[in-house]
Structure formats: C-alpha cells, structure tokens
Amino acid sequence: MALVNPHGKEKKLKPLLLTGAALEEEKKKAKSLNQVRISSRETGDLIMMGIGGFTPLTGFMTRADWEGVCKKFTMADGTFWPIPITVSTTKGQADTLKVGEEVALVSEENGELMATMKITEKYELSAKDKEFECQSIYKTTDMEHPGVAMVMKQAEVNLAGPVKVLSQGAFPREYPGIYLTPAESRKLFEEKGWSTVAAFQTRNPMHRSHEYLTKIAIETCDGVFIHMLLGKLKPGDIPSDTRQKAIDTLIEKYFVKDTVLVGGYPLDMRYAGPREALLHALFRQNYGCSHLIIGRDHAGVGDYYGPFDAQKIFDEIPAGALETKPLKIDWTFYCTKCDGMASMKTCPHGKEDRLILSGTKLRKMLSEGTEVPDHFSRPEVLEILRAYYAGLTEKVEIKTHKYSEGA
C-alpha cells in the first residue's frame, strides 16, 4: 500500500521554492522590484507554498478563488480549499502597482526577501467583504477573535498571482530535524514502511489525554506523526523549545520506537475551528498522512465553535474532496472506575470518577508548585514544565482567559 496522494488533480507535490542558480538569479532580479511588506501569517502561507504543503496552489488567490472558497470551499478551477490564502497591501501602494508587474514580497518583521510575485489581479476588500470572509470562515465578526482581528486589520487590497518562493525564513535553522517539508516526511514514512499515518496537530505539551489520542491512532494505523505548529501562537502558550523537550521525553519513556515521528510546520494559528481543521487535513494530505486526529474543539478559541463542529464539517464537504480522513475522538480523560484512559464515548461513569483539569488550572498548579493529581500527566513531563515555570524571571500572569485548550 502507498501513502495518500498530494492534494489536487495532478496528485503531485508542487513546491514553489526555487533552488540553486534559479534562486540566485531570482534574488538578484528581486532587488530591482517594488517591495510589498507581508505579515507573519502571509509569510507562513508563503513558506507552505514554497515547500509544497499548500499543493496545488501556485500563488495567492484571486477574487474568484477568494469568493468560491468562502462560499463553497472551492477555488475557481474547482480545487477544494477551505480558507482563503491571500496577501494584502494598502490602497495607496496598490495604486502604484500594475497588473502584470512583478513585485518582491518582504517580511514586515525582519525585512527578509521571501518571494517574488507576478501580479495578475488587484482587488479591494470592502469592510463588508471582510465581514463576509470572517462570517464564512470564522463564523463570527467579533474582533476579540484573533483570526477575525487579523482579517479585519489587514490592508484593503488583495494582490493575486503566481509566486516564486525564495526563503523558508528561520525555520530550517531554528528547528533542525523537526521542521520537515512534505517530501521529507513522505520519505521518512516510506522508510519506516508506513502507509497509514495519523497526524496529531499540537501547539501544546502532551498530557495523558493527548497521549491517549495518539495511542488510539497508533493502535489502528501504521504510525503517528506528531506535527507541531512552529508559527505564531497566542500569549501564555508554552514556548516551542519547552514543548518539544516535554514531547521528546514523553516519546522516549512511553512510546514504542518507530511508531511515532515528530515534525513541525511553519504556519501561524488562525483559530478558525472547523474550517482550519479542514486546512489541517488538507496540508497533512500533502505531508503524506492518511488521517488527522480531530479531538474536542480542534483549532478553536473561546466559545465560537461547538466542541465537535470541527469533526462534523468533514461530513458536510463533498465525498472525495480530501483523501485524508478525520480520526474523530471524543473528550478524553483518566477515569478511576475505568481504571485507565477513556472518553465520553467509552466511559459510562460519573464526573466524580473522572480526572479533568483545564489548562488554566494546570498552569496555576505548575507555576505555584502545587502537586498535580495522579494520572493527569506523566511525571517526567510535569518535571520539565515545572522547571520552565520556575525559570521564568518575570512572573507570568496566570489568569483565566477565554482561550480554549484545543489542539
């Protein structure tokens, strides 16, 4: 059996990153081009196009693509796609740029030259258009929602056109061995003889409930791909080095060799819940994963989505839209009467038998040095998290906030 095919009609990875002489030549040419400054989210999207994670995209989306994706999950050429992938600039700059012109896309954070783009279309998004995008994708126009805020605050004019990607930013340097391209993960899966691989999306350290999710996947698939978000998170999240150390230790002590692979990908979180779950499945297909674990409140934030909306949406898209299938799992926990891990679907017992801790409560316990109840997390993992909290020179404000603890 073989791995799932990359997304799109051609069933072939389409990395847009230039290499070798072509890269040097394009970089040289880029010096003379007008520059468009791009945000962290846009940079992450661009790198994903570069490494083939967003196959079969060839660049940023046109107005027809944008509208089709919002309205019916479909680009103008019929390709299934759940979230607009767009780049924007101010009306002021847009007026100085011509359709047909090539521009350089430059990181607003550090000025790095990321790509060149041939502009094929400029289209303004009115406030009403942006609200339509937010309502379609995020199911809300509430500015408290971090994904909505990103869209509403972006500049007025979207630029569409094919891109040539020139850099992967700091990811290869900062996360050696963890940051993987789809071609690399596919090669590693094949070397292990895996054909069914479940991806586990994470932006947090893993406790027993997360371990249980991945172990259910290992019981039924060839292996699990613990796939960490390396892009921007929200304040208060555990930084990636501590998270990685905790996950590595968990794997070393509690997983069988060659049933698990850890990797990272360069996107920022959008917190779009169900729509983002579809995007997560789509790019996992490019990475070679046959399944994506979808637990409670996947990619959610606050109370904007029902806890299992991100599972249900997979039943609403056309059959065959994605080869990668959801591995839908209910809310998981340790139960004393079950004498082990369970979920709402497998444990018939009461609240009093179940060990459920919110992430907020856990952070409070760890930073205050209180004992965490047995069975909640592996002692080796808690030790690493305790050391992290103890080492914080500035006291982190631990407060109850609206952010969820989903994947």
d(Cα 284, Cα 185) in Å, to the nearest integer? 10
Given the rule CB under 8 A, which of 41-49, 115-123, 148-156, 256-264 is the region that contacts a copy of itself? 256-264
The residue (of 163 and 341) whose beta carbon lies closer to a copy of itself is 341
* Residue 127: both structure tokens together: 């406030």
Contact by Cβ (8 Å): 194, 77: no
Residues 284-323 touching a copy of itself, rule: CB under 8 A, are 315
User: Helix, strand, coil % (nearest 5) of the chain?
Assistant: 35, 20, 45
Asked if omega into 15 is within 30° of 0 (cis), the reply is no
**Would you say 130 or 325 has its CB closer to a copy of itself?**
325
Out of 4, 75, 206, 342, name the contact with a copy of itself by CB under 8 A: 342
* Listed ranges 118-126, 239-247, 274-282, 337-345: which one lies at the site for a copy of itself (CB under 8 A): 337-345
What's the min distance (Å) between Cβ of 238 and a copy of itself? 23
Show contacts with a copy of itself in window 353-372 (CB under 8 A). Answer: none
Among positions 94, 329, 362, 384, the unique one binding a copy of itself when judged by CB under 8 A? 329
Tell the smallest beta-carbon distance from residue 5 to a copy of itself (Å). 15
The single residue among 191, 339, 394, 397 that binds a copy of itself, judged by CB under 8 A, is 339
Residues annotated as catalytic are: 203-204
Q: Identify the burial level of 173 via C-beta atoms within 10 angstroms of its C-beta, where 0-12 means exposed, 13-18 middle and 19 or more buried.
A: exposed
Shortest spacing between CB 343 and a copy of itself, in angstroms: 6
Q: Is 3 left (phi over 0), alpha (psi -120 to 50) or beta?
A: beta
| Distance set, CA 27 to CA 32, 100, 101, 166 (Å) | 10, 19, 16, 7
User: Which member of 348, 370, 387, 401 binds a copy of itself (CB under 8 A)?
Assistant: 348
Cα three-residue angle 295-405-209, rounded to 5 degrees: 50
Residues that bind a copy of itself (CB under 8 A): 1, 215-216, 218-220, 253-257, 259, 315, 327-330, 338-348, 375
